[in-house]
């Protein structure tokens, strides 16, 4: 019975963030819900697709934040789960299985199995070794997708239909699809928040601070981390499902190491461990990318140094900046 207080103590001050009132998250979701209204009032039409894409990657960034921000596990192969989700969706649609209620269970099972197998191996290591092993597994899936010649191989797979729910095309309406993705994002945020606030989440966070101390209290740290890794992989797979339906195309590039790096940037940009920071980071990343791409074709040469400078000279990402501004205004 004494283990829970010990875990809470080991978690330290960082534990207070996920328990704080999710006011910022509620405001963020409300603002996102108004995007289609803003577009109908004259905001550039491509914003609807851009924000939809940003929310899809926000789901993946949120899943990564569960193991990175809460569990302290830096995965450099997390985009593999996006690719698996996208390919499962694309292959099933190509084979005439478009029903979402059929696709998602298959997708979740495959992502869970891949996460369980690779996680069992990766989690035997720590630090740089863990990063390199997750990178290796991610590249393994990347090259496997390139070898799927029956489904486009290196050229990717073009989809001629979308997923359906009871026969209705989920992406027939851009606005309807927007709200479906938003609903999924809110659901994933709520799920991860519940996990982090639970005893399981406290153990995961405490293990990040001091795994030996947590083990002494009787918890199986390896098992807790593996479960978190599996949950994270399944949520990231869901983002692949939505990405395939939005782009109507599936490519090995979805699971490249560069994409995994971008997910890490999104989490760091928003604020590691804050949960809603991952969503803010994904939105900021995609919007900055869109703005710079409209200025010059060499936008990556500008974007890269900007991200580096932001990480070097800010603490806590965008969420940290907002918290500091709120603190100054209260003072």
The rounded distance, in Å, linking the Cα atoms of 95 and 103 is: 11
Cβ(70)–Cβ(229) under 8 Å? Answer: no
> Per-domain residue ranges for the chain?
3-330
Could you tell me which of 111, 86, 108 has the C-alpha nearest to residue 250? 86
Both tokens of residue 284? 């900021």
pTM beyond cutoff 0.85: yes
Could you tell me which of 315, 308, 309 has the C-alpha nearest to residue 261? 308
- Residue bearing tokens 């989690």: 123
3-state secondary structure of 157: strand
How many CB atoms are located within 10 Å of the residue 316 CB? 18
Cβ(174)–Cβ(55) under 8 Å? Answer: no
Both tokens of residue 208? 């990040």
The rounded distance, in Å, linking the Cα atoms of 305 and 298 is: 13
The CATH-assigned architecture of domain 3-330 is Orthogonal Bundle (1.10)
pLDDT tens for the chain, 331 residues long, are 344 433 333 333 344 444 445 788 888 999 999 999 999 898 888 899 999 999 999 999 999 999 999 999 999 999 999 999 999 999 999 999 999 999 999 999 999 999 999 999 999 988 899 999 999 999 999 999 999 888 888 889 999 999 999 889 999 899 999 999 999 999 999 999 999 999 999 999 999 988 889 888 888 999 999 999 999 999 999 999 999 999 999 999 999 898 999 999 999 988 888 888 899 999 999 998 888 888 888 877 888 888 888 777 777 788 878 777 766 655 4
Taking every pair of Cα atoms in the chain, the longest distance, rounded to a whole number of angstroms, is 63
């Amino acid at each position: 019975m004494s283990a829970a207080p010990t875990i809470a103590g080991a978690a330290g001050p960082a534990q207070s963030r996920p328990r704080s009132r999710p006011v910022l998250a509620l405001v963020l979701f409300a603002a996102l819900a108004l995007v289609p209204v803003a577009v109908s009032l004259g905001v550039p039409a491509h914003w609807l697709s851009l924000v939809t894409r940003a929310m899809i990657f926000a789901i993946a960034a949120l899943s990564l934040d569960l193991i990175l921000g809460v569990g302290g596990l830096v995965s450099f192969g997390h985009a593999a789960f996006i690719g698996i989700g996208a390919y499962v969706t694309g292959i099933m649609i190509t084979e005439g299985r478009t029903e979402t209620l059929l696709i998602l269970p298959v997708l979740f099972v495959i992502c869970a199995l891949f996460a369980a197998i690779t996680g069992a191996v990766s989690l035997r290591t720590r630090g740089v070794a863990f990063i390199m092993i997750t990178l290796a597994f991610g590249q393994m899936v990347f090259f496997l997708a390139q070898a799927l010649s029956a489904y486009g191989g290196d050229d990717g797979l073009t989809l001629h239909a979308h997923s359906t729910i009871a026969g209705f095309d989920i992406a027939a309406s851009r606005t309807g699809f927007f709200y479906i993705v938003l609903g999924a994002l809110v659901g994933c945020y709520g799920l991860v928040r519940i996990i982090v606030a639970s005893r399981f989440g406290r153990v995961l966070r405490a293990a990040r601070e001091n795994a030996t101390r947590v083990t002494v209290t009787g918890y199986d740290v390896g098992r807790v981390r593996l479960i978190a890794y599996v949950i994270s992989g399944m949520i990231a797979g869901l983002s692949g499902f939505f990405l395939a339906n939005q782009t109507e195309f599936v490519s090995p590039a979805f699971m490249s190491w560069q994409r995994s790096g971008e997910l890490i940037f999104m989490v760091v940009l928003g604020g590691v461990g804050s949960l809603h920071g991952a969503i803010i980071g994904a939105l900021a990343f995609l919007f900055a990318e869109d703005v710079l791409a409209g200025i010059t074709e060499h936008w990556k040469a500008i974007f890269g140094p900007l991200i580096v400078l932001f990480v070097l000279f800010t603490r806590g990402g965008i969420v940290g900046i907002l918290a500091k501004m709120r603190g100054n205004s209260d003072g």
